[in-house]
């Protein structure tokens, strides 16, 4: 082990030439498992895979291997991308292309491996083969790269995800890792690195799209004796999981990115502000930092360059608003995470009054790649003003979901139709929601918009950090707006009045729109109308007067929903009708006497005992008691429950 | 109990406010919640009044001030789970147990929390019971699930 460490440090990391000796190359390809003497089985092991049952699959594979094909290597890798295929199993037989199998649950393992080791491949579970140079191709099996899900992507940031063991720094180095960092600290000055990143045109991937190189320079040009780099890995958007996937699949590159960024601004300590509840990702990142320290890539006088750096992880204590830069800093200082007035910007006076640069995970993941391949390479991808790629976490009602990476300039339409492969169950698309709780809706008419910071800003659409929610016709737009408003109301820090009161009032009004009408002749109808009239005014005031981005953008989902789906709001308000049949208060159920067999399934499950009847006779629902929960509707095997 | 708190506090440097949150986090990880004693001790150690510590801790969702139950139930209400019907699951759970997020039931069996995104976006709605995940949960499964859990705990 010590020999390997010494070899990797001396012959690879400290090697002066760009090409390595053939002897070194041989060792590295062995580490990369390209010249393996045995078959290798890769099992995805991200949080999403574990929830889908990959750990059970892994133990089944282990059992099989120990018994039937000893010597076969089992590697736990990160997420390859398509969540819908989890648990994903990838098998590399001697000298042959990797084969990917989808949805391999525990019980499928034995028949699958039995067949595979006897040359009988189960085509039903097969996702495809991955073409790799120097490997023999499987005849008659489609290539994974030709699948629209992968073909329309440009995987640069994610290119390591799912390919290697995220807990092995050796393998990361064998894949070209840390060479950019070592080159930077040995041959470049702080300004050089800042210049390279500025020339590449990389923009912050957290949504604002500020030039990263420029931000660094602002911090570097201060006279302060110490500076801080903070990696914002908070990712609090309720529907995004890009950062977590990256951290679970390729934590070493993030460490390298943080190290280069810290060097560029002359910081000797870096802090990762970590999302709560992702303990799996946390362990992997901690392991990556520890092993980098072991290799002398972090710590005092790194590889005799005179540069010192240490990275610590801070777990966020749970407040959405801490994604905002100044609130994040307050939280790191041990105060309530409330935003402060800007200026001064964190780049001049941030953590403990020192210049602080805050970058998000995806931005930092791009840094080692730009340093390796040069700014020109990066500029050649994407659009002129927004070079590079963007990672999205597709979730919701698409046929395929998962973490994907597209070149800037790709249209939203192409992501929905090609990558996500359209809508589940042949439903109609209603909208795409970007930017999480403070984002806006894109409808099928405006879907031709490309992913580009400036074009989207012009149209008033926030790119967001990576949430990409596909909404189909079965989703009620008022309901989802209310969902986001409730989320923001709960997370508002309470410092400024427009946000604290505004979110509460807006939620109250939205609630009254979807609540069950008590009786139409009481005063509630009038109250409701009065409230609805004020929604737009409250939204406008919040946008103009809130202190931080959270409050300013909180009305966004509502405003954009109103703009695009006004008729649906009006239906809720005037006709008391929800066209998607989602709003509990507005739907009434009844039982079709011709279809009801009197099986009692609905009556026994009704939580409010609103269903009566005699066994084997048609049942009926007492409307006054019914809360509209819809359990009876879901449970009825004879489609006897009608919804109105 | 107080010995454990002292041991944790000893690892930190006194008077450094930026280490206050990690210190509270470590005590909570160890003990499950922040007791009155812990807050007073941390206040003395950092040099801040108990009110300030309490004010800080209540601001963040993570900190709990009552002991957690034997079964920790987390229901995901991330956007993806929401679209797949987590609202029904949450409502049924509330109707069944009378708990709202962050509470522990009086018999000390369940502690309940609503979380946003556990990462099972394709398999929603997701429930985590003591770290074990159940996917594609339907509202009608909840009553049986609670009965079963209660039975297991009470007969343990």
**Interface check A35 vs B, CB under 8 A:** no
**Interface check A393 vs B, CB under 8 A:** yes
pLDDT score recorded for residue A124: 86
Measured in residues, chain B has a length of 156
Residues A181 and A286 in one domain: yes
pLDDT score recorded for residue A522: 67
Determine the 3-state secondary structure of A213 from DSSP: helix
Name the H helices within A313-355: 325-332
CATH number for the domain whose boundaries are B2-59: 1.10.10.1590
Residue with tokens 């048609």: A618
Give B48's contacts in chain A (Cβ within 8 Å).
none
Give A241's contacts in chain B (Cβ within 8 Å).
117, 119, 121
Choose the closest CB to B121 out of A83, A315, A319: A83
pLDDT score recorded for residue B9: 92
Residue A638 has pLDDT above 70, yes or no: yes
pLDDT score recorded for residue A478: 94
pLDDT score recorded for residue A408: 95
How far apart, in whole angstroms, are the C-alpha atoms of residue A227 and residue A210?
A: 20
Q: Specify which residues A394 forms β-bridges with.
A: A402, A468
Q: Under a CB-based contact definition with an 8 Å cutoff, are residues A532 and A573 in contact?
A: yes
Q: Under a CB-based contact definition with an 8 Å cutoff, are residues A226 and A142 in contact?
A: no
Which domain, by its residues, includes A523? Answer: 478-575
**Interface check A240 vs B, CB under 8 A:** yes
Determine the 3-state secondary structure of A599 from DSSP: coil
Partner-chain contact A333 B55, CB within 8 Å = no
Task: Return the residue of B nearest to A628 by Cα.
Answer: B88
**Interface check B29 vs A, CB under 8 A:** no
Q: How many helices (H) and strands (E) does chain B have?
A: 7, 4
Measured in residues, chain A has a length of 644
The answer to whether residue A248 sits within a structural domain is yes
Residues A191 and A330 in one domain: yes
- The residue of A242, A279, A396, A584 whose CB has the most chain B CBs within 10 angstroms, and thus the best one to mutate to test that interface, is A396
pTM over 0.95: no
Choose the closest CB to B139 out of A52, A436, A631: A631
Report the CATH number at residue A504: 1.20.1440.230
Q: B121 to chain A, minimum CA–CA distance in Å?
A: 6
User: pLDDT grade, residue A436 (50/70/90)?
Assistant: confident
Q: A411 to chain B, minimum CA–CA distance in Å?
A: 22
Contacts with B64 (C-beta within 8 Å, 6 or more apart), sequence order: B28, B32, B33, B34, B102
Residues A411 and A353 in one domain: no
How far apart, in whole angstroms, are the C-alpha atoms of residue A413 and residue A436?
A: 18
Task: Return the residue of B nearest to A279 by Cα.
Answer: B118
Task: Return the residue of A nearest to B84 by Cα.
Answer: A396
| Torsion sign, CA atoms A382, A208, A365, A280 | negative
The answer to whether residue A164 sits within a structural domain is no
Question: Of A467, A485, A455, A463, whose CA–CA distance to A561 is shortest?
Answer: A485
pLDDT score recorded for residue A239: 80
Structural tokens at position B138: 């339907």
The answer to whether residue A582 sits within a structural domain is no
Residue A533 has pLDDT above 80, yes or no: yes
Determine the 3-state secondary structure of A580 from DSSP: coil
The answer to whether residue A246 sits within a structural domain is yes
Q: A630 to chain B, minimum CA–CA distance in Å?
A: 8
Question: Of A592, A625, A504, whose CA–CA distance to A554 is shortest?
Answer: A504
A507-514 own/partner pairs: CB under 8 Å, 24+ apart: A507/A482, A509/A534, A509/A535, A510/A478, A510/A481, A510/A482, A510/A485, A510/A535, A510/A558, A511/A482, A513/A478, A513/A569, A513/A572, A513/A573, A514/A478, A514/A479, A514/A482, A514/A572, A514/A578, A514/A583, A514/A584, A514/A585, A514/A586
- What are B22-74's pLDDT values in tens digits? 999 999 999 889 999 999 999 999 999 999 999 999 999 889 998 888 999 99
The answer to whether residue A265 sits within a structural domain is yes
User: pLDDT grade, residue A118 (50/70/90)?
Assistant: confident
**Pairing of β B127-129 and β B132-134:** antiparallel
Choose the closest CB to B140 out of A276, A352, A635: A635
Give B135's contacts in chain A (Cβ within 8 Å).
51-52
Task: Return the residue of B nearest to A352 by Cα.
Answer: B18
Contacts with A298 (C-beta within 8 Å, 6 or more apart), sequence order: A255, A259, A289, A292, A309, A310, A311
Q: Which of B:121-140 have CB within 8 Å of A?
A: 121-123, 126, 133, 135, 138-140
Phi and psi at residue A187, to the nearest 5°: -120, -15
DSSP secondary structure of A373-417: H-HHHHHTSB-SSSBSEEEEEEEESBSS-EEEEEETT-BHHHIII
The answer to whether residue A552 sits within a structural domain is yes
Residues A78 and A110 in one domain: yes
Question: Of A330, A321, A336, A363, whose CA–CA distance to A234 is shortest?
Answer: A321
- The residue of B77, B122, B139 whose CB has the most chain A CBs within 10 angstroms, and thus the best one to mutate to test that interface, is B122
Q: Under a CB-based contact definition with an 8 Å cutoff, are residues A481 and A431 in contact?
A: no
Residues A463 and A486 in one domain: no
**Interface check A556 vs B, CB under 8 A:** no
Structural tokens at position A563: 């703009």
Choose the closest CB to B120 out of A51, A278, A635: A51
Residues A132 and A281 in one domain: no
Task: Return the residue of B nearest to A433 by Cα.
Answer: B79
Structurally, chain A folds into a number of domains equal to 5
Structural tokens at position B126: 């997701």
**Interface check A471 vs B, CB under 8 A:** yes
- What are A467-504's pLDDT values in tens digits? 899 999 999 999 999 999 999 999 999 999 999 999 99
Residues A27 and A100 in one domain: yes
Residues A223 and A268 in one domain: yes
- The residue of A47, A51, A240 whose CB has the most chain B CBs within 10 angstroms, and thus the best one to mutate to test that interface, is A51
Mean pLDDT of B120-126: 86
The answer to whether residue A560 sits within a structural domain is yes
DSSP type of residue A427: P
The answer to whether residue A638 sits within a structural domain is yes
Residues A515 and A597 in one domain: no
Q: Which residues of A128-149 are buried (b: 16+ CB within 10 A; e: fewer)?
A: bbbeeeebeebeebeebeebeb
Report the CATH number at residue A301: 3.40.50.11540
DSSP secondary structure of B7-75: HHHHTSPTT-GGGHHHHHHHHHHHHSS--HHHHHHHHHHHT--HHHHHHHHHHSTT--SS---SEEEEE
Residues A561 and A636 in one domain: no
Structural tokens at position A603: 């009556």
Choose the closest CB to A395 out of B16, B46, B80: B80
Q: How far is CA A563 from the centre of its chain?
A: 27
Helix (H) or strand (E) run with residue A643 in it: strand A641-643
The C-alpha torsion from A83 through A84 and A87 to A88, rounded to 10°, is -80
B125 cis-preceded (ω within 30 degrees of 0): yes
Contacts with A575 (C-beta within 8 Å, 6 or more apart), sequence order: none
- What are A196-255's pLDDT values in tens digits? 999 999 999 887 789 999 999 999 999 998 999 999 998 878 888 899 999 999 999 999
CATH number for the domain whose boundaries are B71-154: 3.40.30.10
DSSP secondary structure of A20-86: PPHHHHHHHHHHTTTT-SS-EEEEE-SHHHHHHTHHHHHHHHHHHHHHHSTT-EEEEE---SBGGGP
Residue A615 has pLDDT above 70, yes or no: yes
Residues A191 and A287 in one domain: yes
How far apart, in whole angstroms, are the C-alpha atoms of residue A437 and residue A480?
A: 10
Residue A116 has pLDDT above 80, yes or no: yes
Domain ranges across chain B: 2-59, 71-154
Choose the closest CB to A48 out of B91, B120, B140: B120
pLDDT score recorded for residue B26: 94
- Return the ∠ at Cα A186 (arms to A184 and A189), rounded to 5°: 60
- What are A576-592's pLDDT values in tens digits? 888 888 888 888 888 99
């Amino acid at each position: 082990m010590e020999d390997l460490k010494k070899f990797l440090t001396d012959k690879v990391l400290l090697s002066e030439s760009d090409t390595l000796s053939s002897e070194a190359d041989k060792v590295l390809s062995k580490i990369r498992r390209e010249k393996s003497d045995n078959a290798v089985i890769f099992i995805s092991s991200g949080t999403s895979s574990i929830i889908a049952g990959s750990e059970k699959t892994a133990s089944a594979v282990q059992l099989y291997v120990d018994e039937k094909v000893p010597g076969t290597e089992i590697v736990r890798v990160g997420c390859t991308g398509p969540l819908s295929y989890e648990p994903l199993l990838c098998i590399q037989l001697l000298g042959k292309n990797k084969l990917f199998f989808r949805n391999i649950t525990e019980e499928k393992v034995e028949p699958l491996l039995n067949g595979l080791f006897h040359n009988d491949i189960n085509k039903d579970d097969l996702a495809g083969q991955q073409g790799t140079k120097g490997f023999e191709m499987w005849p008659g099996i489609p290539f994974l790269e030709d699948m629209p899900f992968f073909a329309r992507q440009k995987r640069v940031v994610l290119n390591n995800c799912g390919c290697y063991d995220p807990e092995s720094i050796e393998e990361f180095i064998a894949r070209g890792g840390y060479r950019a960092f070592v080159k930077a600290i040995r041959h470049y000055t702080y300004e050089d690195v800042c210049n390279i990143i500025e020339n590449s045109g990389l923009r912050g991937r957290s949504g604002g799209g500020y030039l990263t190189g420029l931000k660094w320079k602002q911090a570097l040009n201060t006279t302060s004796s110490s500076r801080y780099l903070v990696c914002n890995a908070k990712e609090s958007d309720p529907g995004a999981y890009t950062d977590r996937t990256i951290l679970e699949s390729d934590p070493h590159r993030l460490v390298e990115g943080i190290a280069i960024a810290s060097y560029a601004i002359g910081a000797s300590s870096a802090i990762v502000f970590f999302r709560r509840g992702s303990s799996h990702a946390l362990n992997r990142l901690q392991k990556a930092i520890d092993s980098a320290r072991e290799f002398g890539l972090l710590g005092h006088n790194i590889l005799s360059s005179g540069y010192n750096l240490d990275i610590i992880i801070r777990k966020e204590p749970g407040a959405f608003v801490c994604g905002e830069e100044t609130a994040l800093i307050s939280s790191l200082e041990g105060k309530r995470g409330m935003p402060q007035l800007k200026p001064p910007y964190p780049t001049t006076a941030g953590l403990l009054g020192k210049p602080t640069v805050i970058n998000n995970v995806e931005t930092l993941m791009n840094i080692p790649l730009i340093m390796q391949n040069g700014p020109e390479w990066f500029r050649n991808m994407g659009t002129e003003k927004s070079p590079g790629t963007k990672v999205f976490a597709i979730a919701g009602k698409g046929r395929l979901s998962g973490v994907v990476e597209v070149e800037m300039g790709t249209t939203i339409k192409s992501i929905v139709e090609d990558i996500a492969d359209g809508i589940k169950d042949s439903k109609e698309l209603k909208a795409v929601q970007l930017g999480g709780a403070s984002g806006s809706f894109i409808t099928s008419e405006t879907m031709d918009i490309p992913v580009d910071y400036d074009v989207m800003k012009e149209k008033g659409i926030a790119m967001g950090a990576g949430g990409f929610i596909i909404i189909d016709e079965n989703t009620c737009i008022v309901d989802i707006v209310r969902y986001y408003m409730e989320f923001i109301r709960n997370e508002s820090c309470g410092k400024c009045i427009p946000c604290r009161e505004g979110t509460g009032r807006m939620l109250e009004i939205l609630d009254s729109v979807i609540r069950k009408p008590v009786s139409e002749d009481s005063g509630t109808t009038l109250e409701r109308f009065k409230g609805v009239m004020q929604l737009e005014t409250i939204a406008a005031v919040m946008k103009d007067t809130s202190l931080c981005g959270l409050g300013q953008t909180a009305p966004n989902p509502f405003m954009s929903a109103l703009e695009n789906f006004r008729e649906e709001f009006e239906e809720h308000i005037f006709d008391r009708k929800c066209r998607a049949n989602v709003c509990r208060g507005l739907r009434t159920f009844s039982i079709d006497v011709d279809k009801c067999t009197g099986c009692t399934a609905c009556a026994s499950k009704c939580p409010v005992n609103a269903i009566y009847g005699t066994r084997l006779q048609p049942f009926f629902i007492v409307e006054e008691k019914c809360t509209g929960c819809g359990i009876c509707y879901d449970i009825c095997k004879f489609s006897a429950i009608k919804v109105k | 109990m107080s010995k454990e708190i002292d041991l944790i506090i000893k690892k930190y440097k006194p008077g450094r406010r930026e280490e206050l949150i990690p210190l509270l986090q470590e005590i909570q990880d160890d003990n499950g919640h922040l007791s009155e004693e812990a807050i007073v001790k941390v206040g003395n150690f950092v040099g801040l009044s108990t009110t300030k510590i309490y004010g800080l801790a209540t601001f963040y969702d993570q900190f709990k001030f009552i002991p957690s139950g034997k079964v920790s139930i987390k229901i995901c209400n991330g956007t993806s789970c929401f679209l797949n019907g987590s609202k029904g699951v949450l409502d049924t759970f509330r109707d069944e147990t009378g708990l709202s997020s962050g509470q522990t039931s009086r018999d000390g069996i369940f502690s309940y929390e609503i979380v946003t995104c556990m990462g099972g976006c394709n398999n929603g709605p997701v429930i985590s019971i003591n770290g074990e995940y159940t996917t594609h949960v339907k509202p009608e499964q909840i009553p049986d699930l609670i009965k079963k859990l209660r039975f297991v705990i009470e007969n343990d």
